[in-house]
């Protein structure tokens, strides 16, 4: 029977698996879809003017569907694996908060809002991963966060974007107190959602964003008034998004000296190249830095030979 994959972009995903190879309509069965069919459609969608991000989002539920089918031994081959998209998704972030700025942004939020933002800042989870995070995914004893699921606005909990999306992230001490407060405040445990509107309903991203912006704007108003009364320059906060908090986490890892492979793992990137493409400019190792380190290393190595001569 024809495949139908429900998603927020249902019309496109149905078209994706409901076309014949001549592009004249008709349908394909689950096992008849080939990688070349999916690659051809990806190329067509990109040629039509859709961004790489949009095309990637169109393919996400299809890739999740086929991964699940292979995992359940319903199919032997995953035709959605290895679809080649340009590297447009790996753009350098334009907004990264410093450690001090992240702390200030969190301090300006009410307690119930600061917890989800702190997890974005200090664990780097994607929005859907934050929405799907359960109490049982938090291992306070081992200080670990297990990322097991994503979240689809129609389907609810879904498989991660890729196999590397299922990962374990260290629970930093600075984050631990936020997570403990979150679970204790709501009295949740087990399969309950950590940040959900209810134990089973995920938070609405736009609502969380708007509340945070409102809190930061209110802080800026008070700060301007206090600064004017004290005759000093105000210290204003610049709003940030949940995804930019994720970039901030990667930046903090780099500042702390984490190696690129660890950063790849904690960020859930399927390829190390993605990590380098997005964050390579933040990694130590500029031309001057490399030259100075190499000169110092070679000079130290050459010193015994000079003494012997």
d(CA 125, CA 115): 13
Q: Reply yes or no on whether the pLDDT at 142 is more than 90.
A: yes
d(CA 79, CA 70): 10
Burial 195-221 (b: 16+ CB within 10 A, else e): bbeebeebbebeebbeebeebbeebbe
The DSSP code for 282 is G
Which is nearest to 90 in space by CA: 59, 53, 42, 54? 53
pLDDT at 87: 56
Q: How many domains does the chain have?
A: 2
Q: Tell me: do 62 and 147 sit in the same domain.
A: no
In which band, very low, low, confident or very high, does the pLDDT at 84 lie, cut at 50, 70 and 90? confident
Out of 89, 109, 130, a domain closes at: 89
Lookup result for tokens 């990688």: 35
- CA 99, 103, 104 angle in degrees (round to 5)? 115
d(CA 213, CA 209): 6
d(CA 305, CA 309): 6
Q: Tell me: do 15 and 126 sit in the same domain.
A: no
- 292 located within any domain: no
d(CA 81, CA 70): 11
Q: Tell me: do 81 and 109 sit in the same domain.
A: no
Q: Reply yes or no on whether the pLDDT at 49 is more than 80.
A: no
Q: Tell me: do 111 and 224 sit in the same domain.
A: yes
Q: Reply yes or no on whether the pLDDT at 16 is more than 70.
A: no
If you average pLDDT over residues 207-232, what whole number do you get?
96
Q: Tell me: do 22 and 54 sit in the same domain.
A: yes
Q: Tell me: do 215 and 267 sit in the same domain.
A: yes
Out of 89, 124, 142, a domain closes at: 89
Q: Which of 17-21, 72-76, 232-236 has the highest mean pLDDT?
A: 232-236
Diameter of the chain measured on Cα atoms = 83
Out of 89, 122, 150, a domain closes at: 89
Q: Tell me: do 137 and 271 sit in the same domain.
A: yes
Q: What is the CATH number of the domain that holds 240?
A: 1.10.443.10
d(CA 71, CA 252): 35
- 94 located within any domain: no
Domain of 68 in residue numbering reads as 10-89
Q: Tell me: do 115 and 171 sit in the same domain.
A: yes
d(CA 82, CA 151): 22
- 299 located within any domain: no
pLDDT at 300: 76
Q: Tell me: do 34 and 80 sit in the same domain.
A: yes
Q: Tell me: do 215 and 276 sit in the same domain.
A: yes
- 304 located within any domain: no
User: What is the crossing angle of helices 242-255 and 99-107, to 10°?
Assistant: 140
Mean pLDDT for the chain overall: 82
pLDDT at 59: 79
Lookup result for tokens 């949940």: 242
Q: Reply yes or no on whether the pLDDT at 298 is more than 50.
A: yes
Q: Tell me: do 163 and 239 sit in the same domain.
A: yes
pTM: 0.70
If you average pLDDT over residues 162-191, what whole number do you get?
90
Q: Tell me: do 105 and 71 sit in the same domain.
A: no
Q: Reply yes or no on whether the pLDDT at 286 is more than 70.
A: no
């Amino acid at each position: 029977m024809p495949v139908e994959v429900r998603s927020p972009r249902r019309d496109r995903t149905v078209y994706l698996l409901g076309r014949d190879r001549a592009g004249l309509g008709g349908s394909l069965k689950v096992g008849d879809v080939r990688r070349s069919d999916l690659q051809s459609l990806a190329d067509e969608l990109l040629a039509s003017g859709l961004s790489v991000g949009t095309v990637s989002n169109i393919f996400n539920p299809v890739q999740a569907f086929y991964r699940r089918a292979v995992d359940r031994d319903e199919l032997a081959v995953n035709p959605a694996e290895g679809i080649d998209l340009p590297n447009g998704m790996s753009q350098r972030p334009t907004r990264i908060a410093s450690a001090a700025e992240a702390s200030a942004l969190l301090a300006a939020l009410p307690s119930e809002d600061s917890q989800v933002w702190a997890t974005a800042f200090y664990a780097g989870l994607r929005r859907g991963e934050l929405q799907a995070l359960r109490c049982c995914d938090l291992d306070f004893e081992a200080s670990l966060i297990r990322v097991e699921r994503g979240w689809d606005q129609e389907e609810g909990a879904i498989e991660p974007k890729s196999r590397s999306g299922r990962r374990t992230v260290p629970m930093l001490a600075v984050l631990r107190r936020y997570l403990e407060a979150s679970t204790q405040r709501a009295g949740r445990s087990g399969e309950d959602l950590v940040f959900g509107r209810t134990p089973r309903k995920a938070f609405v991203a736009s609502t969380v964003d708007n509340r945070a912006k409102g809190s930061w704007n209110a802080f800026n108003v008070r700060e301007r008034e206090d600064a004017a009364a004290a005759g000093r320059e105000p210290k204003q906060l610049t709003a940030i998004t949940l995804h930019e908090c994720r970039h901030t986490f990667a930046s903090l890892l780099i500042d702390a000296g984490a190696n690129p492979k660890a950063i790849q793992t904690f960020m859930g990137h399927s390829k190390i190249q993605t990590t380098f493409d997005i964050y390579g400019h933040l990694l130590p190792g500029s031309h001057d830095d490399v030259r100075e380190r190499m000169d110092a290393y070679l000079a130290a190595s050459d010193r015994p030979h000079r003494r012997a001569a």
